[in-house]
Amino acid sequence: MKDLDLSIFIGMSRTINYINRESDKIFYKYDLTRGQFAVLEVLYNKGPLTIGCVQDLVLTTGGNIPVIISNLEKKGYLTRCRDKSDRRKYILTITESGKKLMYKVFPENKNSIKSIMNSLSEKDKLNLLEILQSFRRDISEKTK
């Protein structure tokens, strides 16, 4: 008999890897990495934020955030300015050029994900979401 926990983990990993590969194809088309997209997506949807806030909101390691920010700045997709109320912090703001890019990339990626998820019924999607949220809450409680 298979180890059910391991089978679930492998299934989740393969599914996420597939979705990431499909998203990466879109990002590549626009000369973006997954990390760059994540930073732009947060700024596009939430507005100007400190580097720390962006780091907390994106699904990437903190070590590569400075490189991602520098590369996006060089491409003209975001600006970095000192926070006037706390000179130790920097505020990141998406530029018009970054907004125009996200206006194209974000819906294309969203549609790709929706297409992949199309194989699930609405009931299955709601059940899966409920299971994942419960699982995430349980994990959060264990790490406190």
Work out the end-to-end distance of the chain between its first and last CA atoms, rounded to an integer number of angstroms.
34
Closest alpha carbon to 44 in 107, 104, 102: 102
Over the stretch 20-47, which tens digit does the pLDDT of each residue have? 999 999 999 999 999 999 999 999 999 9
pTM of the model: 0.87
Over the stretch 36-86, which tens digit does the pLDDT of each residue have? 999 999 999 999 999 989 988 886 666 788 899 999 999 999 999 998 888
How far is 78 from 99, CA to CA, in rounded Å? 9
- Helix segments in the chain, DSSP class H: 4-29, 34-46, 51-57, 65-74, 96-117, 122-142
What are the domain boundaries of the chain? 4-119
User: Structure tokens of 20?
Assistant: 């990431």
For domain 4-119, the CATH class is: mainly alpha
